[in-house]
Structure 1
Amino acid sequence: MSEAPEEKAAAAVPPPARAKRVQGGVATADVVLSAHSGGNAELFPRILALHVPPGAVIADVTYGQGIFWQRVPPGRYTLLPSDLATGTDCRALPHADASLDALVLDPPYMEGLLRPKAATRGGLGSHAGLRNYYAAGGGHPATAQGLAGGRWHQAVLDLYLAAAAEARRTLRDHGILIVKCQDEVSANRQELTHVQIITGLAELGFYARDLFLLVRANRPGVARLLRQVHARKNHSYFLVFQKVPAGQAVGRYRTRDLPLHRP
């Protein structure tokens, strides 16, 4: 049976073209980059702007002289600053469970600051209090609480992990943890501290959301050099983590916004 004329006409009409997908956004070079040359005060506000929404409650538990916050617009966040001067150990915080949106951690990250013997311990000036309190076997109150860490570079890593465990307790689900660290050479052994922290925090239930490399603007000096074996470190890291809710696999977690919930 031959097709009717109207059926032939319908068959000859091509299907309508699919609408092209139009990408949103605008072209720009004004973005936050992963590598930065300069100081902490310049980079830190950019990290906050990218990862922590305005109005968030942020505890900086190693506040010190507040260098990180020098260029953060006042009033943008609710800041809870604390450190040894306020009697606060970053491994034993006064905050309630799941009470914080974000937490900032910048403890001593060089093994020389935490050596068991005070005579060989590094660090002067503003570092003196940190090195004496957090030093391995230093006899500080944390020792009685079972918070004292190992020796040499292990003391550095133990301090980070213990503080991160306390951060997990005080952060609400999907909360942000910003960690400052630096790699080091200890006892002629290359210690990639930032890798060790990322691995250790994954085991604690933190997703590594971002990484920033900060290169110092000037060249570091060396007082005595017999023979160079490793590259001299002139960079540090800001690591940004997100608290994965209990029961969820870190390996399957994806970056998500941090909506603020207030009563």
Structure 2
Amino acid sequence: MSIIKSVYDNEEVIIDAILKLHCTHPIQLDPTYSKGNFYKGKIKQPKLKYDIYPQSDDVIKANAESLPIENNSLHTIMFDPPFLATKGPSLQKEDNSNRINKRFGVYPTEIELHTFYINALKEFYRILDKNGILIFKCQDKVSSGKQYLSHVFIINEAEKL
């Protein structure tokens, strides 16, 4: 029997615990796969790997808002979307500032970022089976002095669906 803690210090252990607690199937789809860093250890590679900007040949170019997957056909999805929105001038600088923004991309506004989240949730609702699980990695943040509780927004939008 494995022990499931409530505090972790790395993503791999957190994802493994989520899978043990809630999922009867391994992760089948990662629509924002990037370089697949979640799957470098003991988390099994998903069968379906998509990204807007594929980083390797085994990743298919697709947007999480519209996936070439049949309705109600998946059990488990891992979603690690962009979480930043800015129009800041630092994005134009050719230096090491805003490295995460430059690597993963950002949305110009919080409204556009949240619209992406809503559209992706609708798509996942379409492709997940009745008892399917979505693992949605998100991050609360402060931007320009305003706090955004992304997890609350996401939960509320998912409940509406």
Q: Which residue of 1 aligns with 2:63?
A: 89
TM-score (norm: length of structure 1):
0.51
Q: TM-score, normalised by structure 2?
A: 0.79
* Other structure's SS at 1:102 match: strand
Q: 1:89 to 1:158 in 2, by over 3 A?
A: same
In structure 2, list runs of 5 or more residues that go unmatched.
55-59, 92-96
After superposition, the C-alpha distances for 1:8-55 in whole angstroms (9 at most, x for unaligned) are: xxxxxxxxxxxxxxxxxxxx8x4312322x22123212211222224x
Q: Using a 3 Å threshold, how does the CA distance of structure 1 residues 185 and 102 change in structure 2: closer, same or farther?
A: same
- Report if aligned partners of 1:45, 1:71 keep a CA contact under 8 Å in 2: no
TM superposition shift of 1:103: 1.0
Correspondence for 2:19: 48
Cα RMSD of the aligned pairs, angstroms, is 2.4
Per-residue CA distance 1:78-133 (angstroms, 9 max, x = gap):
52111121311111111111111111111111223xx3x7x4447437x54641xx
1:124 aligns with 2:95: no
How many pairs does the alignment contain? 150
Is 1:189 aligned with 2:157? no
* Residue of structure 1 equivalent to 2:107: 135
- Match of 1:103, SS state, is strand
Counterpart position of 1:166? 123
Unpaired runs of 5+ residues, structure 1, are 1-27, 137-151, 205-263
Q: Report the equivalent of 1:31.
A: 3
User: Contact 2:27–2:78 (CA<8 Å) still a contact in 1?
Assistant: no
1:60 has 2:17 as partner:
no
Q: Distance in 1 between matches of 2:77 and 2:35?
A: 17
Tell me the alpha carbon deviations over residues 146-180 of structure 1, each in whole angstroms, 9 at most, x when there is no partner.
Answer: xxxxxx22222222111111100111111000000
> Once the two structures are aligned, what percentage of the paired residues are identical?
27
1:57, 1:100 within 8 Å by CA — same for their partners in 2? no
